């Protein structure tokens, strides 16, 4: 708690606002594929989500440049206003009185684009506020806080999926509004880079600002490899969620009926509960091994867990597979986050974070493509697809971290 008190107001507000936004977006974003599938079918869902990822990719690059040259506070406030409004119209379009798939899709497109633009800004804000005294604590605490939010969000989303989808989205809009007020009040005005209007609006200057990032081979490899690994997690809320919805045979557990959608929620909750409750114990045990051994063990467990989640239909085996994957995530994820932070120059935090977000877009693209591939490939074929992606990601990540001199 003393480390928390050492953090300045900016860092505290950023962490707390991120907790609530992560909680509420986790409550509905993983279920978007299910919402669209219910309304429009699997093929439309896959094509729509893939197209949205392709749209988001260049927008994320622009977002990183914007945050390096404009006031971070003003930019973040504008983003929050747009996202709050988009969520309101998403909720409105799901009500029985105003049900409209076009408004829902359009509002979600706007929300998704701005959510991507906001990522480099929020990352830059948290990095600006980190001091050496709290550096180690911040990453561990943020990792724990984020996974706690995900656990609560998945539980909330699973409940509202059957009861009132529109109420969940309206609640999301309200939370984003309160986050907007808190950022408006407590986020300090940041110093912007002194550039002329000609330089700011010149497209060549945007390209130039990213040259250093693309030349950084270690950072590029780290991002691409990590993106391939994150594909597994995102596939759970897309391909795996749809597969369980269609193929999972309902079971009774403690007088509670579990169908495919609830099974998906339980799998995701298992992940985050293990991360929240066992992170410090597992990290303490893993510290007894060498860094290379820790990374290999973590990546191996992660690969085994998510490869099996792709095809399993057994309640107990799915829970076991996710538990294995979660332990692997706990072991390797903090290593990646620490390496990313150390590789980013202070004056290029927006640009580097944008490339990091581009990597997340790559993860989304591969995961959403899985929905389309799933209509053509068998479950075995999709399992092989996932295995290959995770193998490439694991090898790339190991090389980026432990073969510094050759990259």
Give the chain's domain count: 1
> Rounded to 5 degrees, what are φ and ψ at 193?
-65, 135
SS3 sequence, the chain? CHHHHHCCHHHHHHHHHHHHHHHHHHHHHHHHHHHHHHHHCHHHHHHHHHHHHHHHHHHHHHHHHHHHHCCHHHHHHHHHHHHHHHHHHHHHHCCCCCCCHHHHHHHHHHHHHHHHHHHHHHHHHHHHHCCCCCHHHHHHHHHHHHHHHHHHHHHHHHHHHHHCHHHHHHHHHHHHHHHHHHHHHHCCCCCCCCCCHHHHHCHHHHHHHHHHHHHCHHHHHHHHHHHHHHHHHHHHHHHHHHHHHHHCCCEEECCEEECHHHHHHHHHHHHHHHHHHHHHHHHHHHCCCCHHHHHHHHHHHHHHHHHHHCCCCCHHHHHHHHHHHHHHHHHHHHHHHHHHHHHCCHHHHHHHHHHHHHHHHHHHHHHHHHHHHCCCCCHHHHHHHHHHHHHHHHHHHHHHHHCHHHC
* 234 within domain boundaries: yes
Q: Which residue has the tokens 């903090």?
A: 334
Q: How confident is the model at residue 347 (pLDDT cuts 50, 70, 90)?
A: low
- Which tokens belong to 208? 């130039």
* 391 within domain boundaries: yes
Rounded distance between C-alpha atoms, residue 22 and residue 377, angstroms: 33
In terms of residue numbers, what domain contains 213? 8-189+197-406
Q: How confident is the model at residue 68 (pLDDT cuts 50, 70, 90)?
A: low
Rounded distance between C-alpha atoms, residue 81 and residue 93, angstroms: 19
Rounded distance between C-alpha atoms, residue 147 and residue 183, angstroms: 22
User: Which of 79, 143, 140, 142 minimizes the C-alpha distance to 112?
Assistant: 79
Quote the pLDDT of residue 198: 42
* 38 within domain boundaries: yes
Q: How confident is the model at residue 86 (pLDDT cuts 50, 70, 90)?
A: very high
Quote the pLDDT of residue 316: 92
Higher pLDDT, 348 or 183: 183
- Which tokens belong to 347? 């004056």
Task: Indicate if the pLDDT at residue 307 is higher than 90.
Answer: yes
Quote the pLDDT of residue 291: 79
Mean pLDDT of 172-183: 92
Quote the pLDDT of residue 205: 59
Rounded distance between C-alpha atoms, residue 28 and residue 34, angstroms: 10
* 312 within domain boundaries: yes
Mean pLDDT of 289-314: 92
Quote the pLDDT of residue 396: 93
Task: Indicate if the pLDDT at residue 40 is higher than 80.
Answer: yes
CB 117 within 8 A of CB 66: yes
Mean pLDDT of 343-349: 72
- Which tokens belong to 399? 């090389």
Q: How many residues does the chain have?
A: 407
User: Quick count: other Cβ atoms within 10 Å of Cβ 214?
Assistant: 12
Higher pLDDT, 138 or 249: 249
* 263 within domain boundaries: yes
Quote the pLDDT of residue 64: 66
Task: Indicate if the pLDDT at residue 196 is higher than 50.
Answer: no
Mean pLDDT of 227-250: 87
- Give buried/exposed letters for 99-133 (b at 16+ CB in 10 A, else e): eeeeebbebbbbbbbbbbbbbbbbbbbbbbbbeee
Higher pLDDT, 339 or 16: 16
* 133 within domain boundaries: yes
Model pTM score:
0.71
Residue 112: give its domain's CATH number.
Answer: 1.20.1250.20
Quote the pLDDT of residue 190: 59
Least confident of 55-59, 107-111, 125-129, 169-173: 125-129
- Which tokens belong to 79? 């983003």
Quote the pLDDT of residue 42: 79
* 1 within domain boundaries: no
Rounded distance between C-alpha atoms, residue 359 and residue 263, angstroms: 29
Task: Indicate if the pLDDT at residue 114 is higher than 80.
Answer: yes
* 2 within domain boundaries: no
Start-to-end C-alpha separation, the chain: 39
Q: Which of 3-7, 137-141, 143-147 has the highest mean pLDDT?
A: 143-147
Task: Indicate if the pLDDT at residue 363 is higher than 70.
Answer: yes
């Amino acid at each position: 708690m003393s480390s928390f008190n050492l953090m300045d107001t900016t860092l505290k507000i950023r962490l707390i606002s991120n907790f609530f936004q992560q909680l509420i977006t986790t409550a509905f974003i993983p279920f978007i594929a299910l919402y669209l599938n219910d309304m429009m079918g699997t093929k439309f869902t896959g094509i729509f989500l893939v197209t949205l990822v392709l749209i988001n990719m260049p927008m994320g690059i622009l977002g990183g440049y914007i945050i390096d040259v404009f006031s971070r506070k003003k930019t973040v406030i504008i983003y929050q206003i747009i996202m709050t409004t988009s969520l309101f119209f998403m909720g409105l379009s799901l009500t029985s009185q105003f049900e409209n798939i076009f408004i829902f899709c359009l509002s979600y497109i706007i929300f998704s684009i701005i959510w991507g633009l906001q990522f480099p800004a929020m990352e830059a804000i948290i990095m600006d506020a980190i001091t050496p005294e709290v550096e180690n604590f911040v990453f561990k605490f943020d990792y724990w806080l984020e996974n706690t939010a995900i656990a609560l969000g998945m539980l909330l989303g699973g409940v509202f999926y059957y009861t009132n989808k529109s109420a969940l989205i309206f609640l999301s809009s309200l939370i984003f509004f309160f986050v907007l007020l808190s950022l408006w009040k407590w986020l300090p005005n940041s110093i912007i880079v002194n550039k002329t209007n000609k330089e700011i609006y010149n497209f060549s200057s945007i390209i130039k600002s990213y040259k250093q990032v693309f030349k950084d081979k270690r950072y590029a490899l780290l991002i691409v490899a990590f993106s391939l690994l994150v594909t597994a997690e995102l596939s759970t809320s897309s391909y795996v969620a749809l597969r369980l919805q269609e193929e999972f045979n309902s079971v009774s557990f403690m007088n509670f009926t579990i169908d495919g959608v609830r099974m998906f929620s339980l799998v995701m909750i298992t992940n985050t509960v293990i991360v929240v409750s066992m992170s410090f114990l597992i990290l303490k045990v893993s510290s007894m091994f060498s860094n290379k051994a820790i990374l290999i063990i973590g990546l191996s467990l992660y690969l085994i867990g998510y490869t099996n989640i792709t095809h399993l239909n057994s309640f107990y085996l799915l829970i076991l597979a996710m538990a294995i994957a979660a332990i692997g995530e706990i072991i390797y994820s903090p290593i990646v986050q620490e390496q990313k932070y150390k590789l980013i120059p202070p004056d290029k935090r927006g640009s580097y974070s944008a490339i990091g977000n581009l990597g997340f877009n790559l993860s989304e693209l591969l995961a959403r493509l899985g929905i389309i591939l799933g209509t053509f490939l068998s479950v075995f074929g999709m399992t092989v697809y996932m295995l290959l992606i995770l193998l490439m990601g694991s090898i790339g990540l190991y090389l980026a971290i432990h073969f510094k001199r050759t990259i």
